[in-house]
Structure 1
Amino acid sequence: MAAERRSHSSGDSYDNIEPLFEKLAALGADERARAALREELIGRCLPLAEHIARKFAGRGENFDDLLQVARVGLLHAVDRFDVTRGSSFLSFAVPTIMGEVRRHFRDTTWAVRVPRRTKEIQLTIGPAIERLSQRLGRMPRAREIAAELDVDLVEVTQALIAGNAYQSSSIDAVSGDDPDSGPLPLLESLGAEEPAYTAVEDHLVVKPLLAELPDGEKRVLIMRFFENKTQNQIAEVLGVSQMQVSRILARTLNALREQALRD
C-alpha cells in the first residue's frame, strides 16, 4: 500500500502535522490533490493505529482484525478532525481510534454480565470523548465526560471500567498468529510497549495540569526537566537555597501526581 510506504519514509512522525490538515481543508472536495494529501496523512498516522490495536491485543480477538478496526478509526479521525479549533490532531485521533476498537469489542461479546444502564452509558462515551477532545485539545477527564453526558460521575466511572469487560482469554492460551515460529502462548506473542507513545500519553495528561501551575513552580519544573539544570544551578538562577528548590520540586510533583490520579 502506497500510504504505508510513505509512512516509513516520513519517519512515522506526527510533529507539525496540523498544517497539512489546514492545507487539506483549503482544497476542494473533488480535487485530486485533496485525495493525495489525505492518503499522505493517513499513511503518516498508520503506526498510531497499529500501536492502539496492540494495546487491545490478548483479549480474545485476532490482531489483524483489531488492526483493521483501528485503521477505520484512523480514517474517521482524519475525516472528522477540525483544525480550526486549534487542538492537536493526536489529542483527537487517540480517543477516536480507541473508541472504534472499543465499539468492536462491544459489538462482539462481553466476558461478564454488565447492567443495561452501564452498557447504554458506555455506548455514549466514545462519541462524547471525540467531541470533548476536539473542544479541549486533550483527553477529557471523567468528570468532564459526566458533565457532557449529564449523568452521574459514578455511572461514567463504572461504564469506563466496564469497557474492559469484553471477551477474555488466558495469557497461556496458544496463538497461531506467528507463522515464523509456530503457535506460541499469548504471553510470549504480545507486542512490546513503545516508550515514545507512552510519553505522548503522559504528555497529554500532564500538559493541562502544568498550564495551571503558578509561574514560579512552572519555571522550576522547566529548568529541572526540560533544561536539565541541577538543583544547585536552579537555586543560583532564583537566588534561593538548594533546599528550597528541592522542597518546591517535591511539593509541585506531589501535587501534579495527586491531581492526575484524581482525574
Structure 2
Amino acid sequence: MQTQGSAKDEGDAPAAPVPVPEQAAEATATTSATPPIPTAAPAPAASVPTPPGPAAPPPSEASTMDPGRVDVRTLTRVLFERMAELTPGTPEHEHVRAALIEVNLPLVRYAAARFRGRSEPMEDVVQVGTIGLINAIDRFDPTRGVQFPTYALPTILGEIKRYFRDNVRTMHVPRRLQELWVQVSAAMEDLTVAHGRMPKIPEIAANLRIPEEDVRACLDAGRAYNATSLEATQENDGGLALLDRLGYEDSALTHVEHRDMVRHLMVQLPDRERQIVMLRFFGNLTQSQISTELGMSQMHVSRLLARIFARLRSGNTWDN
C-alpha cells in the first residue's frame, strides 16, 4: 500500500505518510471538531433604546407588527382583546387598562382643543376629558364592531361639556346659547387672525350666517364664565370696590310722599291739636301721659284725637 501511494503522489508533491484506518478516523474527528477560523467578525449593530410603552401584545399579533410603526387603532384593538382575556382587578388587567388610557390620550387632547377659547386652563379640560376616556374604556364592548375612537369621542366631549355646564358658569345659560357660543368663539378667533383685529358683531353674524341678536346673546352668555366680586377693588376707580359705587334702595323712600302729605296737613291744625299729635305719635306718650302734660282729662284727649284723625283723613287725597 505504501508503494502504490508513493507512486501516485510522485509527480505532485513530496510523499506524505498515509495514515492507517485508525489514524485516519482520529484525524477526521479532529478536523471536524475544530471550528473554522472566521475571516472577519461583523460589527455589532447599535442598540436603540425603546421608550417605555403599553403592554406588549400576544406573540401571535406582535410577530406581524412593527413596534415602531404600529397603528393606534390596531394597538387599541389588541389591548382590548388582551384585557378581555384577563380577570378584572388583577395587576395584569390594570396594567393593560392603563396602557389603553395612555395610548388614547391624544384623542382627549384633540377633543379638549375644541374648548381652547374658554377661560379654563387647558390642563383642567384635559383632566376632565381623561375621566370621559376612562368611562369609555370601561363601557366599551369590542364585540359590537365599532371602532373605539368613534365610541369614545362623544363620551369625552360630553364629560367636558358637563364640566363647563355644572362647574364653570356662574349663571345658568340655555343649552342653545352654550352650543352657539362655541361656534361664535371659534369664528372670533378665525376672524381675528384674518383681519388682525377683533371682529365686529356684523362680521361674526355674516361669517356664521346667524342673526346679530344671536351673536349679542352669545357674547352676553360668554361673560357668565367669570363673575367679578363686589368687594374687589377697581384700579381705574381709585381703589374703590364695586360695592362702593353701587346704590341701594332706601326702605323709607316709599314713605316720602306720605310724610310730605302729613306735614302739609299738620300745618293746618290748631296749635293744641298739633301738640297732641306730636306728643302721641312722635313723643310716644300715652293718652294718660298727654292728659297730665296738658292738664286735661284722658277722655277729652281721646275725643280730640278722634276729631283730629277725622280731619286729617278728610284732607288726605290718598283716601279719595
Using structure 1 for the length normalisation, give the TM-score.
0.40
Structure number with greater CO (CA < 8 Å, separation at least 6) is: 1
| Rg larger in structure | 2
